Structure 1
Amino acid sequence: MDTAKPSQDLVRSLTDEHVLRALTRHRRLTRAELAVEIGISKPTAGESVRRLTERGLVTDTGERTPGGRGRGRVGSYYALAPSVGVALAVTIAPSGIVAEGLNVYGDGVASVARPGEPSRVGETLIEAVAGVRDAVDQPIRLAVVSAADPVDRVTGRLVQLPDSPFLVGALDPVEILSAYVDGPVVVDNDVNWAAAAEGQDDFAYLFLGEGLGAAVVDDGGIRRGSSGLTGEIAHLLTVGPQGRAIPFIELFGELGLRRPGTTAIDAERLIASPTAVREMIGTAVGGVIAAVIALADPGEIVVGGSWGPSLISEIVAATARMPRQVPVRATTRTGSPASAGVRAEALRRLRASLTARG
């Protein structure tokens, strides 16, 4: 049996990691409180605080415990240093760009929103991110970005596909943000981030809005494919008018439900459509779901987007006629699920980077 003891360096590293995690949970602690919280001796906690202070990760807040007159020695409160930095969470959509700075506790410390202008999306992104940088006055350690377009998983660039609404436009967020971020820039499409916000391990997320998309989550991981384009469902063949086979995206053109001059779907007009049109769209979505089930075998189908949940009755009725049955429901998420997914990942990565530095 191997009875070798861990090295002192490993023990110190693990202790420092526990101290950083404890300060992330509690924001400020004395060395005595750290010892109790982690289950280590006071001298060991004190040594860890000393090491982390020297590295600029922990700081003395200047606050003291009462102490004296039978209350024991005065204790100093320690907290994570401002130099641990913030994470940047960015959403890029046709309506505009929102950049938010998050500290290691998950607090939003700065937020800048700019209206969408397709002709200058790069400049707008720079303005939003520079605004956050100037407001937080702390290093931006990393960035997580959601974009309302397909994303190349290798480069992080936005990809234009045939007949895609291409809602944002040509953009390379990694290149743009590298001037503002010390560490990595992670980019993915909004559908994948919305799926991540659902917090499930085995399902498919169908995004039905101005654009069309899907995300497949298997064993808790999003399947992106070799180039990052898994879930691009616009060209799947499905059932159209008079029972004809038709690419999914073309259905909305035939029904007159596209916005003028683009393939973007007019959600308001679609929702207000007559019952027969809504049922036809529900049947088409059912055909897409049948393909997703055949290829991905998800445990559940979750329908999101600006108009998908409004047609959930028609969609469920269509899927009830399919030979393979999988539960189908509308998302319960409100607000911007993609933004929630981006924020959660930005916070997770910032905390991981902190403990790695410890």
Structure 2
Amino acid sequence: MKTATPATARAINDRLVLDLLLERGPLTAPQLRELTGLSRPTVSDLIERLRDGGLIEVAGECGENRRGPNARLFGIVAGRAHVAGVDVRRTAVNVTVADVTGRTVGSAVRDLPGSGGTPGLSALIGSAVAEAAAGRALDTVVLGAPGLVDPRHGDLVAPNDVPGWEPGLLQEVRRDLGVPVTMENEVNLAAVTEHRTGAATGRDDFVLLWLDDGLGSALVLDGRVRRGASGGAGEIGILRTAGGSLCDLVVADVLRDLGRDDAAGRIAACAFALVAILDPGLVILGGSIGREGGDDLAELVEGRLRDLSPAPTEVRASTVEGNAVLQGAVLTALDLARDRVFS
């Protein structure tokens, strides 16, 4: 077994402290020693190194009566990096910009589509990002969109139905923005949010069933979003039954016209297609139907699913407030930026 080099050990300790400051906010040197188990000289050197690198700064003093170096609070330099999350849907483009601590510093919305004379989709995305950034340089951008995103090259496998979306759009957005841009399926991003801050917090295995103007799902196994070889993992809307495609049977407008019991039965049938193969133990109902139905619908679906599958499966309604796709894009962008900046 190889022994870590001093440089590797320093990098590991630096990231440990930076993650603690992100999680807990400003901390003193004694608090960092207590939380990390590192020695006084190691923490002192680490603090000096991170301050020289522009990653942390003195953020005040603790509330104790004593003064001096041990009373100083150290926090992340919030403006060290900024990221943008972009949600491109069929009706609008939504953008949120956050600093490296995750604090939102700007947002913008552009409606889709417009009448004649509307700028191209790339230009519209660029203008929304520029408005939200308000002159701040961006470290990375994550763009969420409907469709299969091939994990090998990061682009759509086939065009989606977003107005103005054309082949080569991702490359055009990258050229226009001049920063790294990563694209991800929008339901996968919603699952990231659900896992970090929503109904799946603390669970490493779950399925997010997205019930909206279309049907989709995201698979999280062992704490990771699973995309499949071509990005098609979880695309159950294309499955067909005697009554038509699953997507046609559980689209939001159709479900709203059904009685609650009938709607729960259809949703359970969709969930069963995933539960029977994956046995995730937890299904989250997201999208507009999942939010509107809440705990009552989730309970009904869980009961129907119990009749279909011997595998015990809990069903919960999404608890994410606001735009889950956009929040997931920001969280993913923050992960990418922190890995670059903090390393």
Range class of TM-score, shorter chain: 0.7 to 0.9
Residue 100 (structure 1) aligned with residue 96 (structure 2): yes
Are the counterparts in 1 of residues 279 and 311 from structure 2 also a CA contact under 8 Å?
A: no
Residue 176 (structure 1) aligned with residue 173 (structure 2): yes
SS at match of 2:134: helix
Superposition RMSD in Å:
3.9
Are the counterparts in 2 of residues 238 and 288 from structure 1 also a CA contact under 8 Å?
A: no
Corresponding position of 1:132: 132
**TM-aligned CA deviation for residue 125 of structure 1:** 0.9
Percent of aligned positions with the same letter in both sequences?
26
Are the counterparts in 2 of residues 149 and 167 from structure 1 also a CA contact under 8 Å?
A: no
Corresponding position of 1:152: 150
**TM-aligned CA deviation for residue 112 of structure 1:** 1.9
Report the CA distance shift for 1:176/1:251 in structure 2 as closer, same or farther (over 3 A). same
Are the counterparts in 1 of residues 81 and 341 from structure 2 also a CA contact under 8 Å?
A: no
Are the counterparts in 1 of residues 298 and 317 from structure 2 also a CA contact under 8 Å?
A: no
Are the counterparts in 2 of residues 178 and 185 from structure 1 also a CA contact under 8 Å?
A: no
Aligned equivalents of 2:181, 2:129: Cα separation in 1? 13
- Output aligned runs, 1:44-193, within 5 Å: 44-58=42-56, 79-81=75-77, 84-117=80-113, 120-135=120-135, 137=136, 139-160=137-158, 166-167=161-162, 170=165, 172-173=169-170, 175-177=172-174, 179-180=176-177, 182=179, 184-193=180-189
**TM-aligned CA deviation for residue 140 of structure 1:** 1.6
* Counterpart code for 1:332: S
Report the CA distance shift for 1:170/1:154 in structure 2 as closer, same or farther (over 3 A). farther
TM-score, length-scaled by structure 2: 0.75
* Counterpart code for 1:106: G
* Counterpart code for 1:285: I
* Counterpart code for 1:9: A
- Output aligned runs, 1:196-207, within 5 Å: 196-199=192-195, 200-207=203-210
* Counterpart code for 1:230: A
Aligned equivalents of 1:49, 1:286: Cα separation in 2? 53
* Counterpart code for 1:180: L
Q: Which segment is superposed worse, 325-334 or 88-97?
A: 325-334
SS at match of 1:101: strand
Computing the radius of gyration from Cα coordinates, the structure with the larger value is 1
Corresponding position of 1:327: 313
Residue 342 (structure 1) aligned with residue 329 (structure 2): yes
Residue 270 (structure 1) aligned with residue 254 (structure 2): yes
Corresponding position of 1:291: 273
Aligned equivalents of 1:65, 1:249: Cα separation in 2? 56
- Once the two structures are superposed, residues 268-288 of structure 1 have per-residue CA deviations (whole angstroms, 9 ceiling, x without a partner) of x4354253xx65554443433
**TM-aligned CA deviation for residue 133 of structure 1:** 3.0
* Counterpart code for 1:249: C
* Counterpart code for 1:122: S
Report the CA distance shift for 1:319/1:134 in structure 2 as closer, same or farther (over 3 A). same
**TM-aligned CA deviation for residue 73 of structure 1:** 7.5
Mind listing any 5+ residue stretches in structure 2 that lack a counterpart? 196-202
Report the CA distance shift for 1:175/1:212 in structure 2 as closer, same or farther (over 3 A). same
Aligned equivalents of 1:205, 1:168: Cα separation in 2? 26
**TM-aligned CA deviation for residue 227 of structure 1:** 0.8
SS at match of 2:237: coil
**TM-aligned CA deviation for residue 76 of structure 1:** 7.3
State the aligned residue count: 325
Mind listing any 5+ residue stretches in structure 1 that lack a counterpart? 241-245, 253-264
Q: Which segment is superposed worse, 40-49 or 123-132?
A: 40-49
Are the counterparts in 2 of residues 158 and 170 from structure 1 also a CA contact under 8 Å?
A: no
Are the counterparts in 2 of residues 145 and 186 from structure 1 also a CA contact under 8 Å?
A: yes
Corresponding position of 1:9: 7
Report the CA distance shift for 1:230/1:168 in structure 2 as closer, same or farther (over 3 A). farther
TM-score, length-scaled by structure 1: 0.72
Corresponding position of 1:256: none
Aligned equivalents of 2:337, 2:330: Cα separation in 1? 11
